[in-house]
Structure 1
Amino acid sequence: MGDYLPFLAMVFLQVGYAGMNITSKLAMDSGMNPFVLVAYRQIFATVAIIPFAYFLERKTRPRITWGILFQIFLCSIFGATLNQIFYFIGLKNSTPTIACALSNLLPAITFLMAVPFRQENVGIKRKPGQAKVLGTIVCVGGAMMLSFYHGCTINIGESKIHWEYAEEMRERPSSHEPNFILGTLLIIASCVAWAAWFIIQANLSKKFAAPYTSSALMCFMASIECGVIGIFVERNISAWSLRSSIRLVAALYSALVCSALAFCLISWCIQRKGPLYVSVFSPLLLVIVAILSWALLQEKLYVGTAVGSVLIVVGLYAVLWGKDKEMKQRNNNEETQGEKQEEKDDLELQIFGYSSGNLHVTS
């Protein structure tokens, strides 16, 4: 049963992310400002993560220096504020299916951004490097197709599920007309900000091994940042009200499930199975969201969306395959070097012992 728990945890997490996309889309369709939604998410996430940081890391937490705080501040800007503002505004101007499909660009964008910082090697002469480069190109091509080409509608029938609230939101006249090109570009910008956070977080983790504390501080700083931006953009006090059930559900759900709980589950799964295991579940979110959007939101599926999504997923697995092979080769090389060093040390000990013995006999 223990081997199935990480699998079940990751499937549950993808279902949780899918629910966030649906509830957040409905909340924004009801008139909720995405800046307000992001601000509430950071506030609620801070409150949820603080107990984990206090009880799990109070005895092992390293000293917090000004340099550490500055890196956490950068993480809050890229990993929380810009990432989520771009994503939710992009989601408002597109569909949950498109948003989830474009989110699979993250490994390719992270690879491109990590190369200049020497956190990744291209290695174009080896198969893993070729797979990463080719996968990145395929991902970008799929994103371009998904962004700028719709094509014909794929007739998969109509859903027999009638969610009255979703139908009411869809039929309600809105002053906001979705801009699909703007939406897709903002979601790609969200991936760029997320990738920048990965690079900064990689350096931070080496100096400050307290993930819950750093996450709590990051969310706290992001709460202030998103709150200031939200107040500047939306000055109408009534727009900040959470009396509407869908707005309260969207804010709490995204914070508790997709920030606090997700972080704990991802950290646990990475510890048990490694980061690659977590990454391969990303396309599952796209499938779940596509099904729920069709069933609950009556979302139509276009040829461009389907083909672009498939290209992104294929490119994603090519990048992950290349990264996995590269890590295995690196580990094998380290083990080989370690064995050679041990043999060298043993030989030196034998020579030293033989010389010492001769010296002892001679004396």
Structure 2
Amino acid sequence: MGIEEKECTPSLAMVIIQVGYAGMNVLSKLAMDAGMSPFVLITYRQIIATFCILPVAFFLERKTQMKITTSVLFQIFLCSLFGATINQLLYFIGLKYSSPTIASALSNMLPAITFVMAIPFRMETVGIRTMAGQAKVAGTLICVGGSMLMTFYKGSLIKMFPSHIHWKYAEEMTAASVASPAAADHNLALGAALVVGSCFAGAIWYIIQAKLSKSFAYPYTSSAIMCAMAGVQCIIISVTVDRNTSKWALGWDIRLASAIYTGVIGSGLAVSLMSWCIQKRGPLFVSMFSPLLLVIVVILGWAILDEKLYVGSVTGSVLIVGGLYMVLWGKGKEEKKGSGKKGMEVEEVENGESLGIGLPLYASATSNGNEAQGGNKA
């Protein structure tokens, strides 16, 4: 039972993250519709997250014998640049110009993009002659096709029965931010493109984070440093883009609520848990839970924001999720094959030692097993 609970813990953590991200999408969209700059929102997010993670890192990892080298700091800097600053800025600006449902659906491209970008680093293999390799390639192409469909095809409105729990404030903010139909279509395409760009930045972060977790296995400390670095980066970018100090003011309104929520939940909790999950189960495991976010956001968008669904959005979402699970199915088949191969190597080692063949065979077998295991985890 203890082993089963240990195996389920990363899955439970990822479910909590997706629920938290769903709330963040809705609140952030409302704050930006109310006039809050995405640059300011992301900056507050990183600053608040830093102060949230620091106590956790201190109490949980203060007695460890960690060694923060220049190489580790550089890797954390790259994680902050791609995983926090670029990734989040592109996503939130894309969210501003699109909708929570579209942004959440397009973020499901992340596993496919991660798979493609991990190939040159030998963290993933194509294996086009195998069923698993063909599934991963086909799934990636389907994800791309779904994202293109969502971006450039709107289609007819899907009629749904009305929700009776609409948030009046949300309706007013959304209505006030609606532009002309032509401008709205242009903004939708721009927002979708920015969200896809954030997926590329996120994929780079996953790859770097996987490398970092092997050389510096302290997820809370690395997350705290990462958020602090990202906060400095966002301040520099925000001041460069817009020097209007009035945009930094926070009152007792949706802006303050969004800043606190994104900092505490969206970064403070999520980044720590994601770093831990990447360390335990690998980057592809983390990305496989993204469809859950889409389901939650669709429900919240319909129930609270009165968000409309169109044929293009729904069809594209289905294609993206279907392609995602094709990639994950192929990855799962490869992992099972790798585990079976590793088991055969261990059996050969045991037989070799019992026959007196000795150490050289043992060293060779375990070396190959470790290489295969490292590739599977990545």
Are 1:317 and 2:325 an aligned pair?
Answer: yes
Whether the aligned pair in 2 keeps the contact of 1:33 and 1:234 (CA below 8 Å) is: no
Q: Given the superposition, is the C-alpha separation of residues 47 and 5 from structure 1 closer, same or farther in structure 2, using an over 3 Å criterion?
A: same
Q: How far is 1:204 from its partner? A: 1.4
2:29 corresponds, among 2, 25, 29, to: 25
Q: Which residue of 2 aligns with 1:37?
A: 41
Q: What do residues 259-278 of structure 1 show as CA deviations (whole Å, max 9, x unaligned)? A: 22224444666788776665
Give yes or no for contact 2:210–2:278 (8 Å, CA) kept in 1: no
Moved more, 227-236 or 183-192: 227-236
Match of 1:91 among 89, 95, 99: 95
Structure-1 separation of matches of 2:209 and 2:177? 43
One-letter amino acid of the structure 2 residue matched with residue 25 of structure 1 = K
Identify which of 78, 82, 99 aligns with 1:78. Answer: 82
Aligned to 2:50: 46
> What corresponds to 1:240 in structure 2?
248
Q: Corresponding residue for 1:67?
A: 71
Q: Counterpart of 2:308 in structure 1: which amino acid?
A: K
User: What is residue 198 of structure 1 aligned with on the other side?
Assistant: 206
Q: Which whole-Å CA distance do the structure 1 matches of 2:177 and 2:119 have between them?
A: 47
8 Å contact 1:61–1:210 — kept in the other structure? no
- Map of 2:107 onto structure 1: 103
Residue 222 of structure 1: which of 227, 230, 241 is its match?
Answer: 230
What is the one-letter code of the residue matched to 1:106? Answer: L
Residue in 2 aligned with 1:180? 188
Contact residue 111 and residue 288 of structure 2 kept, 8 A = no
1:343 shift after superposition = 0.9
**Aligned twin of 2:167:** 163
Give the Å deviation of 1:344: 0.9
Aligned in 2, Cα 1:139/1:173: closer, same or farther, shift over 3 Å? closer
Asked if the contact 1:141–1:311 (Cα under 8 Å) also holds between the matched residues in 2, the reply is: yes
SS at match of 1:102: helix
SS at match of 2:355: helix
Q: Tell me, yes or no, if the aligned pair for 1:61 and 1:209 is still in contact at 8 Å.
A: no
State the 1:173 CA deviation.
Answer: 5.8
Counterpart CA distance in 2 for 1:193 and 1:21 is: 18
Q: Please list, as runs of the form range in 1=range in 2, the aligned pairs for 1:329-340 lying within 5 A after superposition.
A: 329-340=337-348
Q: Decide which moves more: 159-168 or 339-348.
A: 159-168
Question: How far apart are 1:158 and its partner, in Å?
Answer: 2.4
Matched, 1:149 2:156: no
For structure 1, the residue ranges without an aligned partner over 5 or more in a row are: 351-363
2:294 to 275, 286, 300: 286
Supply the AA of the counterpart residue of 1:185.
A
CA displacement at 1:62 relative to structure 2: 2.3
Cα offset for 1:280?
4.0
More deviation, 174-183/112-121: 174-183
* Higher alpha-carbon deviation: 155-164 or 167-176: 167-176
Secondary structure of 1:53's aligned partner: helix
**TM-score normalised by length of structure 2:** 0.87
Amino acid at match of 1:150: K
**Aligned: 1:136 with 2:140:** yes
Preserved CA contact (<8 Å) 2:206 2:283 = no
CA contact (8 A) 1:276 1:324 kept: no
Identity of aligned residues (%): 59
The CA deviation string for residues 268-296 of structure 1, in whole angstroms up to 9 with x for no partner, is 66788776665443212111111111121
Letter in 1 for 2:26: I
Shift, 1:162, TM fit: 3.0
Structure 1 length normalisation: TM-score? 0.90
Which residue of 86, 111, 116 maps to 1:112? 116
Aligned length: 350
Match of 1:126 in 2: 130
Equivalence for 1:345: 353
SS of the residue corresponding to residue 126 of structure 2 reads coil
Q: Which deviates more, 160-169 or 28-37? A: 160-169
Answering whether residue 270 of structure 2 is matched by residue 262 of structure 1, we say yes
Answer with 1 or 2: which has the greater Rg. 1
Report the Cα offset of residue 232 of structure 1. 1.5
Q: Which runs of 5 or more structure 2 residues have no equivalent in the other structure?
A: 359-378
Q: Return the letter of the residue paired with 2:239.
A: I
How far apart in 1 are the matches of 2:271 and 2:75? 19
Distance 2:241 2:326 in 1: 41
Indicate how the Cα distance of structure 1 residues 29 and 107 shifts in structure 2: closer, same or farther if over 3 A, else same.
same
Structure 1 CA distance, aligned partners of 2:78 and 2:277?
A: 26
Change (3 A) 1:294 1:192: same
1:106–1:277 Cα change, 3 Å: closer
Partners of 2:59 and 2:100 lie apart in 1 by 36
